[in-house]
Amino acid sequence: MRAMVLRRIVGLAEEPEPLEPADLPEPEAGPGEVVVEVSRCGVCHTELDEIEGRTPPPKLPVVPGHQVVGRVAAVGRGVSRVGEGDRVGVAWIYSACGRCAACRRGDENLCGDFQATGRDANGGYAEQMVAPADFVHPIPAPLTDGEAAPLLCAGAIGYRSLRLAHLPRGGRLGLTGFGASGHLVLKLIRHLDPEATVYCFARSEAERTFALELGAVWAGDTAERAPAPLDAIIDTTPVWRPVVEALPNLAPGGRLVINAIRKEAADQAALLELDYPTHLWMEREIKSVANVARRDVREFLEIAAAADLRPEVELYPLAEANRALVELKGGEIRGAKVLQIR
């Protein structure tokens, strides 16, 4: 089968083609597993973190990709909840132990044995992949494969971030960075709470324009101040500077939710500018988001289908995965980038 494979950790600035095309053996389903024939796979900033070593795979080579949509091609022994031909998705959460305290209370995203798709196990930058049957998700009928792919990560993690933001009804929400996740959160909040207002912070003029087109009431650079204090802000950037710049925009008691698996170290000096009275006084707080749980994915897919929440999607052939990654790294973003596998 065709696949794009990461064989070594590299910086995209030095190596703009980090993934190599490969012809791999077709996988087989073990007990409790399914083989998914992949149709579409979203391209995520987390792939950049894997490739550049901020969240490196435990072993190489590996097939990246964790926003996977396809059909079940084969089922292993003991699988009953899905069958051949079912349309399913595979998200960042590949598996968890199911026994620890975090798993028992539904926070399997915090499990010490959490395994990630496309990092700890081969993912969806390939024609087929294997996944635990209990960790694949039914795709609601109204969504196309290409629309569903970014919902599995950018959408689901945005949904979790919004829940953790504790935005009051009719509140003011800030979005720092406006890529795949940000634009889905804006669409989501307009469905869940039409009285809420959204303010966008982005370095790119194109992203600011896109936010206004989708209904943001204001858009500015990350260093600008919003015209009103914000009840919550969700940061989706890979760097520290926007975090520091976002905090003074919070109203007293407001919460900044950081939706990023890692922050780049290049601008870590920005943290030295943190000033307690300016950034944290008056019970402002910072909350991180760690991965997603299965319920985040499944609840969000149902909401997206019911609300006709469809992401903006740009399609790339599998062979052009490197081009999609380089454009993502360079900030060439309007909605979500998705690989067309078949």
- Confidence class for position 79, pLDDT limits 50, 70, 90: very high
Whether 231 and 282 have beta carbons less than 8 Å apart is answered as: no
CATH number for the segment(s) 2-139+312-340: 3.90.180.10
- Mean pLDDT estimate for the chain: 94
CATH architecture of residue range(s) 155-288 = 3-Layer(aba) Sandwich (3.40)
d(CA 216, CA 209): 9
Domains 2-139+312-340 and 155-288 belong to one CATH topology? no
The radius of gyration of the chain from alpha carbons, rounded to an integer in Å, stands at: 19
Give per-residue pLDDT as tens, 267-325.
888 888 889 999 999 999 999 999 999 999 999 999 999 988 888 899 999 999 999 99
Torsion, Cα of 223, 228, 290, 52 (10° steps)? -20
pLDDT band, very low/low/confident/very high, at 43 (cuts 50, 70, 90): very high
CA distances from 202 to 137, 232, 235, 237, 242 (A): 32, 16, 10, 9, 9
Average pLDDT over residues 87-91: 98
- Residue 267 structure tokens: 């601008």
This prediction has a pTM of 0.91
Residues whose CB falls within 8 Å of the CB of residue 180, separated by 6 or more in sequence, listed in order:
42, 44, 150, 154, 311, 333, 335, 336, 337
13: CB partners within 8 A, 6+ apart: none
Q: What Å distances lie between residue 159 and 8, 96, 168, 174, CA to CA?
A: 33, 20, 15, 14
Domain-by-domain residue ranges, the chain? 2-139+312-340, 155-288
Instruction: With H, G, I as helix, E, B as strand and everything else as coil, classify residue 24.
Output: coil
Q: What type of residue sits at position 135?
A: F
